[in-house]
């Protein structure tokens, strides 16, 4: 029988930061918060598929917010997740119907809660495009970048896992792969626009 750990809100945040506990934490997010956020999306005109996709995006954004140290824990995790879902869904509606009545819905649905959604949740479309660019890199490049930047493995551990000659080889390979990805991103107009806005803000 599966034995699941039940985290409190504070423990859950810590578990998300810990790569060994993250899976269990994400599972708890699904078990405890998926239904209410999905109901919200469906109540606002979304389909089952929309609700599932938005909740997945919500969880990803939540993890990113925690990893960037931007979750201030001024509200409960549930409130925060619903807040992210709302923003994602209103952005999605806005994307689907650029003009008209929905714009008003979007404006009225905006939260003035503890966090600045504009800073934290960027355009989903850009993220999709960037993910596509990552796929074009090739398997070994993706793997090495993922092991270093997501799994937080050391060069030594990557040498062992990917059977490279030594750490310097891995370092060079990782650098080249990151450079390759950066060059592809530079060619993306949406990304270029966003970077310019950040720089000249």
Q: Which of residues 95-134 bind other proteins (CB under 8 A)?
A: 127, 130-131, 133-134
Write out the two tokens for 141.
């490049």
Candidates 145, 153, 158, 159; binder of other proteins (CB under 8 A) is 145
Of 4 and 98, CB closest to other proteins: 4
For residues 139 and 131, is the Cβ–Cβ distance under 8 A?
no
21 binds other proteins (CB under 8 A): no
Q: What are phi and psi of 112, to 5 degrees?
A: -115, 40
Of 133 and 162, CB closest to other proteins: 133
Q: Give the whole-angstrom CA distance, residue 65 versus residue 62.
A: 5
Of 74 and 119, CB closest to other proteins: 119
Helix (H), strand (E) counts: the chain = 11, 0
Q: Give the whole-angstrom CA distance, residue 33 versus residue 21.
A: 18
Candidates 52, 103, 123, 167; binder of other proteins (CB under 8 A) is 52
Handedness of CA 109, 112, 115, 119 (dihedral sign): positive
Q: Give the whole-angstrom CA distance, residue 167 versus residue 27.
A: 35
Of 97 and 132, CB closest to other proteins: 132
59 binds other proteins (CB under 8 A): yes
Q: Give the whole-angstrom CA distance, residue 23 versus residue 43.
A: 29
175 binds other proteins (CB under 8 A): yes
Of 160 and 195, CB closest to other proteins: 195
By CB atoms closer than 10 A (0-12, 13-18, 19+), residue 6 is exposed
Q: Which of residues 60-89 bind other proteins (CB under 8 A)?
A: 60, 63-64, 67
27 binds other proteins (CB under 8 A): yes
Give contact residues for other proteins (rule: CB under 8 A).
Answer: 22-23, 26-27, 30-31, 34, 52, 55-56, 59-60, 63-64, 67, 127, 130-131, 133-134, 142, 145-146, 149-151, 175, 178-179, 181-182, 185-186, 191, 194-196, 198-199
């Amino acid at each position: 029988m599966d034995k699941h750990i039940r985290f409190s809100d504070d423990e859950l945040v810590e578990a998300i930061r810990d790569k060994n506990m993250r899976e269990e934490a994400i599972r708890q997010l699904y078990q405890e918060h998926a239904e209410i956020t999905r109901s919200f999306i469906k109540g606002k005109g979304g389909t089952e598929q929309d609700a599932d996709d938005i909740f997945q995006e919500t969880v990803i954004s939540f993890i990113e917010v925690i990893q960037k140290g931007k979750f201030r824990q001024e509200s409960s995790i549930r409130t925060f997740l619903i807040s992210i879902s709302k923003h994602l869904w209103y952005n999605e509606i806005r994307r689907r119907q650029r003009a008209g009545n929905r714009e008003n819905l979007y404006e009225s649905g905006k939260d003035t809660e503890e966090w600045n959604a504009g800073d934290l949740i960027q355009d989903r479309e850009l993220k999709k495009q960037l993910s596509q660019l990552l796929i074009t890199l090739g398997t070994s490049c993706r793997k090495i970048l993922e092991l270093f930047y997501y799994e937080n493995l050391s060069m030594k551990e990557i040498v062992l896992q990917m059977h490279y000659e030594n750490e310097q080889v891995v370092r060079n390979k990782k650098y080249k792969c990151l450079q390759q990805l950066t060059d592809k991103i530079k060619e993306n107009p949406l990304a270029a626009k966003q970077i310019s806005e950040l720089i000249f803000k």
